[in-house]
């Protein structure tokens, strides 16, 4: 397994470099639909880079970060509430959040289908879900997938269409954007 608990300082310094400017613009735009002082959840937050991007666009939002690695959360920004936990069993009530982010984390979830249902459970109707992931169908994505499997990570990498289909099954309406060997899904929580 990758020792994420010890990698907080590395991720704190370098994680922002893997998110293309074009994605950050789309991400910031998607947050404009979140109500004033809305609540957001950063799942598999690591050191909280997506929350930091979001705060630059919307400083009025109330941030919660959840990650299973205490060593990552130790380096998360102070503006967010930090919770030690996993996506498959979110310790939050139903319909608690106006937006949920999952940046480079979904492929680490040990039970991806259960995690998707949990994300949906904690989102309000009409809420915004932002997922940023690696496309295993690209050359670099396939190499990263192989590397993570060597480290015995869950490596549940899904192609953009596959993930969009799983999200649609859980009641999300999805839009996919590609960024070379990466992709983003901006989804809205429908009825339920």
Predicted confidence (pLDDT) per residue in 2-33, tens digit? 445 544 444 454 565 678 999 999 999 999 99
Q: Delimit the domains of the chain by residue range.
A: 4-189
Query: CATH code for 4-189?
Result: 3.40.50.150
Predicted confidence (pLDDT) per residue in 153-165, tens digit? 788 999 999 999 9
Predicted confidence (pLDDT) per residue in 39-59, tens digit? 999 999 988 999 999 999 999
Cα–Cα nearest to 16, from 55, 48, 42, 49: 49
Predicted confidence (pLDDT) per residue in 143-152, tens digit? 988 888 887 7
Higher-pLDDT residue of 141 and 153 is 141
Task: Give residue 6's region: left, alpha or beta (phi > 0; psi -120 to 50).
Answer: alpha
pLDDT of residue 15: 60
pTM of the model: 0.91
């Amino acid at each position: 397994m990758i020792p994420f608990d010890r990698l907080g300082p590395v991720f704190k310094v370098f994680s922002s470099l893997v998110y293309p400017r074009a994605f950050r613009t789309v991400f910031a735009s998607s947050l404009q639909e979140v109500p004033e002082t809305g609540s957001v959840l950063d799942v598999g937050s690591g050191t909280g880079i997506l929350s930091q991007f979001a705060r630059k666009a919307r400083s009025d939002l109330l941030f919660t970060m959840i990650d299973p690695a205490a060593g990552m959360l130790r380096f998360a920004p102070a503006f967010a509430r930090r919770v030690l936990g996993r996506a498959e069993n979110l310790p939050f009530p139903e319909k608690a959040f106006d937006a949920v982010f999952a940046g480079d984390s979904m492929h680490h979830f040990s039970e991806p289908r259960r995690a998707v249902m949990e994300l949906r459970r904690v989102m309000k109707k009409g809420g915004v879900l932002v997922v940023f992931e690696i496309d295993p169908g690209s050359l670099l994505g396939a190499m990263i997938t192989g590397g993570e499997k060597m480290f015995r990570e869950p490596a549940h990498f899904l192609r953009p269409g596959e993930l969009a289909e799983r999200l649609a099954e859980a009641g999300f309406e999805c839009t996919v954007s590609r960024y070379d060997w990466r992709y983003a899904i901006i989804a809205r929580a429908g009825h339920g």
